[in-house]
Amino acid sequence: MKKNIALLAGGYSGEFVISIQTAETIQNSLDSDLYNVYKIIVTRAEWYYEQGATKVQVDKNDFSLPLETGKITFDCVFIAIHGSPGEDGRIQGYLDMINIPYTTCNSIVSALTFNKSYCNKVVKAFNVVNIANSVHLIKGEPYSMGAVLDELKLPVFVKPNESGSSLGISKVKAVENLLPAIEKAFKEDTQVLIEEFIEGRELTIGVYKAGGYLRALPATEIVSKNEFFDYEAKYTPGVTSEITPAPIDNQLREQLENKAMYIYRHLNCRGIVRMDFILQRTTNKLFFLEVNSMPGQSENSIVPQQVRASGRSLKDFYCEILEDCMKSHNS
- Say how far apart CA 288 and CA 205 lie, in whole Å: 11
* The amino acid at 301: S
Considering the domain architecture, whether residues 173 and 310 belong to the same structural domain is answered as no
Quick one: pLDDT at residue 136? 95
Question: Residue 147 has what pLDDT?
Answer: 92
Strands 200-210 and 213-216: antiparallel
- State whether 267 and 124 are in the same domain: yes
Does 119 share its domain with 207? Answer: yes
Q: Mark whether 122 and 254 lie in a shared domain.
A: yes
Least Cα distance to 246 among 276, 285, 209, 291 occurs for 276
Q: How many structural domains are present in the chain?
A: 3
List the CATH number of the domain containing 186: 3.30.1490.20
Domain holding 261: CATH number?
Answer: 3.30.470.20
At which of 196, 226, 245 does a domain end? Answer: 196
Question: Is residue 120 domain-shared with residue 251, that is, in the same domain?
Answer: yes
Question: Any idea what the CATH number is for the domain that residue 59 is in?
Answer: 3.40.50.20
| Residue 291 φ/ψ, nearest 5 degrees | -110, 130
Same domain, yes or no: 254 and 322: yes
> Rounded to whole angstroms, how far apart are CA atoms 7 and 49?
10
Same-domain status, 18 and 66: yes
Q: What is the pLDDT of residues 289-328, one digit of tens each?
A: 999 999 999 988 999 999 999 999 999 999 999 999 999 8
Same domain, 167 and 77: no
Domain identity same for 240 and 300: yes
The last residue of a domain, from among 176, 196, 216: 196
Domain carrying residue 51: 3-103
Angle in degrees, 0-180, between the axes of helices 302-309 and 314-330, rounded to the nearest 10: 100
Closest CA to 37 of 68, 71, 80, 7: 7
- pTM summary value: 0.92
Tens digit of each residue's pLDDT (9 = 90 or more) over 113-154: 999 999 999 999 999 999 999 999 999 999 998 999 999 999
Indicate if 56 and 122 belong to the same structural domain. Answer: no
Note whether 246 and 119 are same-domain residues: yes
229 and 118 in a common domain? yes
Picking from 108, 139, 121, 145, the residue whose alpha carbon sits closest to that of residue 269 is 108
Looking at residue 197, the DSSP 8-state letter turns out to be -
Domain end: 196, 216, 242, which one? Answer: 196
pLDDT (tens digit, 0 to 9) for every residue of the chain, 331 residues total? 999 999 999 999 888 999 999 999 999 999 999 999 999 999 999 999 999 889 999 999 999 999 999 999 999 999 999 999 999 999 999 999 999 999 999 999 999 999 999 999 999 999 999 999 999 999 999 999 899 999 999 999 999 988 654 678 999 999 999 999 999 999 988 999 999 999 999 999 999 998 888 999 999 999 977 665 445 545 555 667 899 999 999 999 999 999 999 999 999 999 999 999 999 999 999 999 999 999 999 988 999 999 999 999 999 999 999 999 999 888 7
